[in-house]
Structure 1
């Protein structure tokens, strides 16, 4: 997938959300965390935050309150994709392999894994002493049940690999055999949707289980209001000994970004998820606040519904791409916390072509000439759907509106509450919308499949964009081993997208989280999620 965060960000991102060892992680760093995250039980305890304003020793215990723009509505990891749920699910359920803050694939619940030379057999050996939060032992049968349930359910982040068999060779060894090679498989196993849960839901019904989920993650659900706040408590059986350092983690619903900043400054929350790029320096320079950042797997985009009578016309889409000054928009709105996007794939993802692709750059004369080739040479009136409560998105919409007007296209901005925004684009009830796409693992296919497969869950990210050559290249890329040949496939695919513009990439934003200066050890992941197990709060 590409997990999408419908708010910002995902996704919005709805988000997302998604969902992205590769031997070639060329340029996959992009990280602005202070130090690389280690695997095992000794992860870095100071990543991404500036604690120089307070030199008191860090403390264990306490509560970290995190402001988020949307509530958590479900823990069913196989049926969810949006960031509001994904970034709660990953605190309870963990996968066999994961990625660190640099985007590197690392063993997680598995202490080791091997892949056969033919790319068909994947063998995972579980860590010793691994337990679920209720104290029961984690076995390979639990992993078989979890992955089989994902295969059966499918869901928005369905396992695309053709699995021939799942087998627990013994209590600690899981063997997955594929029918044919699928290069993204190991990367996709890092998705939150591939977390491990107890065999047969631990003896309760699915409904009961997901109301009170049991996993291996650092936290367990203590109190949960699907329309409001969520309180996690420390998992006493967490496999990383002594962690998490905090006793509780609270997700506090704050739907407006200005309110979130005010609560952060006042110390009512310890961190906020949705920090508009325009507010980043204000928070960073505050007397008691700072920011935790990382490069991201996110691409901010203007999406077109290709079922719409206007945006089904390729010349209309190309005309808008040429009318829009993406460089100017990025400089005006991101304050140095983003890079102009020419291509769909962010620079931190292998096989991105941002520096080599032939993009439709700002050219008003060319934009007018392109519109003249369309069925609407004299222009038209349309609507742009935006989620309310995000000041950056609101300004993006105004800049796009002004650019469209220069070539005779009148855009009416339709700002709606987040839940309505999601409902609308899930139902194709939009002409154009602002949203962001993101990978959920460090793999090009994670974004490309989500945004180009017309038969997939998202129907090309709800654009319903369909191009047989793109679909062919997508499948070829999935089966081709990493290397120059796979790079050429993805370069061709990205160029077609740049030429036909079912969506206009705008910029690649950094992940920016506002935090109190008293916070240490917060790890920002490039998919926008956070790791809280190393967090300490200074007294």
Structure 2
């Protein structure tokens, strides 16, 4: 999950990647990917090479440049791959490039492609394909995670070398290039129109789209031309739509699915200790958050926002919804990302006397009525909303909860059709800019994560941080930004959960990433 699940989110949001789950179905077998799956996780025919993954939202688009929500992003990254990527610890690693160099002045980035790279259609990958892909991303007017460096040129000195020249240094560039949005596609879309290409895409990733229902399941098959020899270890990957979390858990227990993308935190202990189930975890780049629409007359008032933040006890929210699997968030920047001030920031939190002082200083000292927008089916979000509702009542603010289906939720917050919403914000790559720019740049793709928040001083600081080399000066800039955001409260960070995937015990080799995605190429079913 910059510029949303994905903060450049958000991966919004945005995530809604965590969006939800709840109740039924104990059938011992069901149709998955065209074969009947038994309670052992193996198909009835003995085929153990199909992995079925329960997800709470369908894949609606595979355009890597215009998408940001996790339902799409974490399908896109199975098809397209970037020059560099990151591991489960957030370390940048070479991917389609076998090596890279950055000039001493920070203005030239040179990538050398791996030998023998092919697209899934068998055609060779060349530097010209990478140049085309990055230039298309630059030119995309609706880019969700745009390349914001001041790029002078992207060229291919030879068929194995990609060179990016900048007009001025841009510290997050290498990390930004690790985004799924910087995956490589064939030059000129292989002769197709852009729309036709993304309807049946060709990439370098471990999987190829086989069958796609935009309101239901998506089935991938193995890319026979994948550059990692002998991988993937499974022949088919099925993204199965299971909107109800309880149903997803039941299907995992009975072997109808092999994994759950976003198991509810209340189920983790049960699944971790189950006879046939287990969990895999990673550090978190995700923060679940209340967002205020600062274009709304009530939440344009900083005293109103501070009153609600002071009225709420975030530790109580974390305790109520996480079952010990999350940390209370005091800043927008997750602790797992460098320059987070989680341990030093002064949050606006849990002080009812100050909450009453703030509401008294606002334009609405006698209170008002408003609504919290949330995606239905997410028990954790529902509980958090109820806790804010109760806290707000103590300062005379009556909040109603507006629970809608996930598709409506996404369309509404992206249209700024809300007053308060609860959503997840996640970094897409391992740099503080991934969160800060996405959530605090009023001119960016998401308009400060769909809050319309604007502070010229914060904007200037985040732009300066983008060109400041890593070190104390950059750390100081992010410290100031985080404290200002905490003081002005365009959003209330709530908690950062462990990144957790629930699996059958016979699943081996799944790599869980801190942006909430996973890698399947090493997966085998025992």
Matched, 1:135 2:122: yes
SS in 1 for 2:158: coil
1:299 to 281, 287, 295: 287
Query: 1:157: which partner in 2?
Result: 145
Paired residues of 1:218 and 1:235 also in contact (CA < 8 A): yes
For 1:121, the equivalent position in structure 2 comes to 108
- Out of 169, 182, 186, which is 2:157 matched to? 169
| Contact 1:16–1:81 (Cα < 8 Å) also in 2 | no
Q: 2:402 and 2:371 mapped to 1: Cα distance?
A: 6
Correspondent of 1:197 among 185, 198, 211? 185
User: Tell me, what secondary structure is at the counterpart of 2:271?
Assistant: helix
For residues 427 and 312 of structure 2, what CA distance do their matches in structure 1 show?
A: 25
Report the counterpart of residue 283 of structure 1 in structure 2: 271
Report the counterpart of residue 106 of structure 1 in structure 2.
Answer: 93
Are the counterparts in 2 of residues 2 and 16 from structure 1 also a CA contact under 8 Å?
no
| Partner secondary structure for residue 169 of structure 1 | strand
Match of 2:258 in 1: 270
Contact 1:325–1:362 (CA under 8 A) maintained in structure 2:
yes
- Aligned residue number for residue 13 of structure 1: 14
What secondary structure does 1:477 align onto?
Answer: helix
Which residues in structure 2 correspond to 1:369-518 (within 5 Å)?
Answer: 369-518=357-506
2 CA distance for matches of 1:398 and 1:142?
Answer: 50
Deviations 1:351-400 (A, max 9, x none): 00011111112111111111111111111111000000111111111111
Q: Residues of 2 paired with 1:149 and 1:102: CA distance?
A: 30
Tell me which moved more, 330-339 or 104-113.
330-339
Per-residue CA deviation, residues 199-232 of structure 1 (Å, 9 max, x unaligned), is 1111122122111111000000111111111100
The 2-side partners of 1:523 and 1:112 are apart by 22
Comparing 276-285 with 308-317, greater Cα deviation is found at 276-285
3-state DSSP of counterpart to 2:77: helix
| More off after superposition, 420-429 vs 60-69 | 60-69
| Alpha-carbon shift at residue 13 of structure 1 (Å) | 3.3
| TM-superposed deviation, 1:405 | 1.2
Tell me what 1:87 maps to. 74
What whole-Å deviation, never above 9, does each CA across 1:114-153 have from its counterpart, x for those lacking one? 0011110000000011111111111000000000000110
Q: What secondary structure sits across from 2:332 in the alignment?
A: coil
For residues 152 and 174 of structure 1, what CA distance do their matches in structure 2 show? 18
Question: In structure 2, which of residues 505, 510, 516 is the aligned counterpart of residue 522 of structure 1?
Answer: 510
**Cα deviation, residue 486, structure 1:** 0.3
Show CA shifts across 1:225-282 (max 9, x none): 1111110000111111000000100000111212211211121111111211112112
- Contact 2:96–2:113 (8 Å) recurs in 1: yes
Partner in structure 1 of residue 221 of structure 2: 233
Residues in 1 aligned to 2:180 and 2:119: alpha-carbon distance in whole angstroms: 16
Question: Any idea what the Cα deviations from partners look like across 1:85-123, whole Å, max 9, x if unmatched?
Answer: 100000000000000011100000000000011110000
**Distance in 2 separating the partners of 1:238 and 1:290:** 29
1:4 CA displacement = 2.5
Q: CA deviation at 1:5?
A: 6.3
Q: Does residue 4 of structure 1 match 2:5?
A: yes
Alpha-carbon shift at residue 331 of structure 1 (Å): 1.4
Report the secondary structure of 1:331's partner residue: helix
Pair 1:165–1:11, CA change in 2 (3 A)? closer
Would the alpha carbon gap of residues 371 and 405 (structure 1) be closer, same or farther in structure 2, given more than 3 Å must change?
same
Contact 2:4 2:10 in 1 (8 A): no
Q: 1:60 to 1:176 in 2, by over 3 A?
A: farther
Separation (CA, whole Å) in 2 of partners of 1:478 and 1:497: 18
1:70 aligns with 2:57: yes
The normalised TM-score by structure 2 is: 0.92
Question: Secondary structure in 2 aligned to 1:106?
Answer: strand
Give the conservation status (yes or no) of the 8 Å contact 2:17–2:262.
no
**Separation in structure 2 between the aligned mates of residue 489 and residue 260 of structure 1, nearest angstrom:** 43
Structure-2 residue corresponding to 1:26: none
The alpha carbon displacement at 1:298 in A equals 0.6
Single out whichever of 299-308 and 269-278 deviates more from structure 2: 269-278
1:404-428 residue CA offsets vs partner (Å, 9 max, x unmatched): 1122111100100000001110111
Instruction: Let me know the Cα RMSD of the aligned residues.
Output: 1.8
Cα distance in 2 for residues equivalent to 1:326 and 1:79: 34
Superposition deviation, residue 60 in structure 1 = 9.2
Q: Distance in 2 between matches of 1:398 and 1:5?
A: 26
Equivalent of 1:207 in 189, 195, 207: 195
Query: Which blocks of at least 5 consecutive residues in structure 1 are unaligned?
Result: 18-52
Q: CA deviation at 1:9?
A: 8.3
**Equivalent residue, structure 2, for 1:179:** 167
**How far does the alpha carbon of each residue in 1:29-74 deviate from its partner, in whole angstroms, 9 at most, with x for none?**
xxxxxxxxxxxxxxxxxxxxxxxx99xxxx9951000011111111
Structure 1 position 2, deviation (Å): 6.2
Q: Give every structure 1 segment of 4 or more consecutive aligned residues whose post-TM-superposition deviation is greater than 6 Å.
A: none
